[in-house]
Structure 1
Amino acid sequence: MTGIFLSGHIRCVPTRDVFSVIADPTRRQILDLLCQREMAVSELVETLGLAQPNVSKHLRTLGDADLVHVRIDGPRRHYRLHPERLRDLDEWLMPYRRMWAGRLDALERHLDQLDDELDNHLED
């Protein structure tokens, strides 16, 4: 099991598993859909335009990674997002987000300065 280093301690979150699970674009699309609301497998099949066995395989992978929960209602299975695992990932990404925000702020200041210099040059 790989851990995530947060605030001076190791969180026992199987990051490799989460990363490999969300690396698949279809699984990310399923997560995006489930972020909006709980959905039955049949709804996901229709929305994604994939065969039911393929959707079920992706849902099983997401469930094994504890990213979705299932509610059984008779013959139907309804899936919903289990965001806690994504929260751990979000916390791990926070320093990188701050780094990029700082760089983008610096770029914006630089572009504003260039724009001001261009305006001054055109006024002359």
Structure 2
Amino acid sequence: MEYVVELDKLETYAPPLHDGTANRRLVPADLGAGIEVVHGTLESGGTASRHKHATEWQVIILLEGTANLEIGAEPSRPLTAGAVVRIPPDTPHYFEVTSEEPAKVIVIYSPPLGAGGFIAA
């Protein structure tokens, strides 16, 4: 196991139900840490379609950019850098980047996101 890794050297992937997203696993599920941590870059106008996670808590930390968030039955709300979003399991949510520049996020899943972790809602 490498103790120190550089973000730009980690492989990128596009998660299901996301448009304009490039993610990098900082703490992969198979590491055995009990959590999964992801760094995401979402293009301007990029979205995470309305979806939910069956058994995983999700925490999103918006590092850069602005976005709109819909969660559960609540109305859409604007987010700015520094926002921390806590999403319980089985809670539908939608995320859309509203800034001209890409949004950057840290996402934490507990437990780690399983293979079927994204469920359209």
TM-score of the pair, normalised by structure 2: 0.25
Q: Which protein has the bigger strand share?
A: 2
**Larger radius of gyration between Structure 1 and Structure 2:** 1
